[in-house]
Every structure is written in C-alpha cells, then in structure tokens.
Amino acid sequence: MMGCRSVPLFALICCASAFSADWPQWRGPHRDGISVETGLLDSWPAGGPRLIWKTQGLGEGYSAFAVVGDRLFTQGQVGSQEFVLAFDTNTGKQLWKTASGRAFHEGRGNGPRGNGGVGHLPTAVWPPSIDRIVPLMNLASSLAR
C-alpha cells in the first residue's frame, strides 16, 4: 500500500496557538487521552475548525504527534528509511528531519506505527523504530545522540 501522508493540522487549534498545554506523548501528558485545558469548544463551528497550516511529504505511516512548546514531532517513512520530523506549530515550517531506522513494510500498511515523546529531559525525543533502536534527539536540531 503506497501513499503520501498529507496532514491537515487543524488539530493544532487545540494544542498550539490557542492553548498552551503540552501533549508530549501518545494520548497526552498522562497517556489517558484527557486534556486539562479549559474553554474548549463543545462542538465544531459550521464548516469545521479554521485550518492553521498543513504539510505534505511525510511519506507513509501511522504515527501520532507529540507537541511541546512551539514544536510538533512526528514520524514518517519514505523509500527505505523512517524519519523523525519537527515542525514549528505556529508556521508549519519543517525545522528538521532525521533518519531513525530502516523502513517497515507489511501487508496492512507501511511505515512507523508508534509515537515517540518528549521526556523529562527537555532536550530529547525518542521515536520507536522497527530496528528497536531508540535514539535520543536534540529538540533544537536533528542531531541524534
């Protein structure tokens, strides 16, 4: 199954510019899917939420997002390589993209399936990899440690 993942990031309305809470891992700060934010909408406005930005070229995969401060992190797969990518939540500009492991191919869909997270050390993000390699990356750059 080959495809190009296009991500309309209207969800950022909830986690970037309008609200300030971080969502540093899958299902949020406590991994329970519960936001502690107040003042959230009870329903979407007619026509849906306002699109803040969108991007293309993430490749294949099913990775979720982690948001800390003004950075959004996710994973994708292009060709024979998986990548971790960082974006500016205000502009959608890709800040960096770095290889994180070999590609994952199988009949139900290709690409990364997990979600890394931003840990207690504010300088690290870790993506799960098919190779079971867990690199730590500097949040400000694509430098893996």
Give residues with Cβ within 8 angstroms of 111, minimum separation 6: 5, 59, 60, 61, 62, 63, 75, 76, 77, 82, 103, 104
d(CA 52, CA 49): 9
C-alpha to C-alpha distance for 70 and 104, rounded to whole angstroms = 29
pTM of the model: 0.76
Q: Architecture of domain 1-29+47-145 in CATH?
A: Beta Barrel (2.40)
Digit-coded pLDDT (tens) for 3-40: 444 444 434 334 344 446 889 888 898 989 998 888 88
Query: Which residues touch 5 (CB under 8 Å, ≥6 apart)?
Result: 56, 58, 59, 60, 61, 76, 111
d(CA 17, CA 50): 12
C-alpha to C-alpha distance for 65 and 24, rounded to whole angstroms? 8
Per-residue confidence (pLDDT) for residue 2, from 0 to 100: 43
| pLDDT tens by residue, 34-77 | 988 888 888 999 999 889 999 988 999 998 888 988 889 888 99
Rama region for 137: left / alpha / beta (φ>0; ψ in -120 to 50; rest): beta
Assign 145 a pLDDT band (cuts: 50, 70, 90). Answer: very low
Model confidence over 84-129: pLDDT tens digits?
888 999 999 999 888 888 899 989 999 988 777 787 555 566 666 6
